[in-house]
Amino acid sequence: MTKFLLETMANFAITGFFADLIVVLVYFVLLLLFIIINVMLVVWVERRVCAFYQERLGPNRVGPFGILQSVVDAVKLISKEIIYPKNVDKWVYFLAPIICFISALLLYTVLPFGKGLVLVKLNVGLLFFVAFSSTTTISILMAGWGSNNKYSLLGGMRTVAQMISYEIPLLLSMFGVIMLAGSLNLQDIVNAQEHRWFINLQPLAFIIFIIASIAELNRAPFDLPEAEQELVAGYHTEYSGMQFAFFYLAEYANLFSLSILCTTIFLGGYLGPFFPSWIWFTVKVYGVILLYMWIRWTLPRIRMDKMMKLNWKFLIPLSLLNIVGTGVAIKAWPYIQQLVR
């Protein structure tokens, strides 16, 4: 595709730096469309699944099965006024949702969507993902502080405490996979799973990853940062219109990207027999998303101190043990094979 674009532009005498720039822009727009369409779909799926678990109907008026509900909601949010409450920290308040959305978008640049379908083939792909997903924390802090509202501040503080703590087991659970694949490049990690998915070799890491990623996404049972009954809506209490939509979109974009990461490092990514790679990819990713939704609408909210205890006294020691076990197993495996023969 890059080649085709470059050749077309060469016909119009556009070459060099500007041609590269245009290629990047085209990819960016395509990526943006892909994310927004999928996020709208995921929001609709979430509302339908939630309704199913609660024995309601859910949105079913706009389009077949209400599938266009998210589109209508987006139009509504765009047309609403953006309100700046009194005494907000203007620049911080204004920039927070934008930074939140951008850091959610950046994650998609390294994720492989299918065989050869990856925007940037980065050697440190997994590290890039982890690094930029940690910048979301800052935008949430900015939103909580900039709103000049006690509920927002409390929500922001809770989010940050939670996200910083649960980032550790999330990272540690990936180490086993990195050790097995011997690479940080996400495509190499997928290709290393050709014969056996890493969920078979790292079942413990997979469970830790799922728990920690739910906490990272601020979804129930770890939805303390935006607990409606206690904090109104947490860090985005004061936001309205398109700014609120940015937070909402970023939340589901993060859900989607973490599901992709989960598929990529544990479930064999886009690999699978008979069908083209992107079909396998879609099926697996939506499977993981449904798993997240199942957990969210089944379990009640956990208490703050229990949440911290679960992380520091259970998940982190367990994931450290998993790393040690993986290291020993990798070194010992050849000898065991010889013994068996």
Partner 1 sequence: MIIIFYLFSFLLLAFALGTVLSKNLVHSALLMIGSFFAVAGLYILLQAEFLAMVQILVYVGAIAVLVVFGVMLTRKGSVKDSNLPNRYKKVGALSAVIFFALLVRSIINTSFPAPSSPVVGANTIIQIAQTLLTQYAVAFEALGVLLLVAIIGAIIIGKETK
Distance CA 129, CA 260 (A): 11
Name the minimum Å distance from CB 287 to partner 1: 29
Name the minimum Å distance from CB 227 to partner 1: 20
In the complex with partner 1, which residue's Cβ is closer, 56 or 90?
Answer: 90
Name the minimum Å distance from CB 234 to partner 1: 15
In the complex with partner 1, which residue's Cβ is closer, 41 or 161?
Answer: 161
In the complex with partner 1, which residue's Cβ is closer, 85 or 89?
Answer: 89
Name the minimum Å distance from CB 63 to partner 1: 40
Q: Residue 57 to residues 41, 48, 267: CA-CA distances in angstroms?
A: 17, 7, 32
In the complex with partner 1, which residue's Cβ is closer, 67 or 127?
Answer: 127
Name the minimum Å distance from CB 314 to partner 1: 16
In the complex with partner 1, which residue's Cβ is closer, 60 or 134?
Answer: 134
| Other beta carbons less than 10 A from residue 30's beta carbon | 12
Q: Residue 216 to residues 85, 114, 135, 233, 247: CA-CA distances in angstroms?
A: 28, 25, 12, 17, 15
Bridge partners (DSSP) of residue 117 are 114
In the complex with partner 1, which residue's Cβ is closer, 93 or 248?
Answer: 93
Give residue 290's Cα distance to chain centre: 14
In the complex with partner 1, which residue's Cβ is closer, 39 or 189?
Answer: 189
Name the minimum Å distance from CB 75 to partner 1: 33
The answer to whether residues 83 and 241 touch, using CB atoms and an 8 Å cutoff, is: yes
- Taking alpha carbons only, the member of 175, 177, 172, 158 closest to residue 301 is 158
Name the minimum Å distance from CB 122 to partner 1: 7
Bridge partners (DSSP) of residue 114 are 117
Binding site for partner 1 (CB under 8 A): 89, 91-92, 122-124, 127-128, 130-132, 134-135, 137-138, 141-142, 144-145, 153, 156-157, 160, 164, 167, 184
In the complex with partner 1, which residue's Cβ is closer, 142 or 189?
Answer: 142
Name the minimum Å distance from CB 124 to partner 1: 5
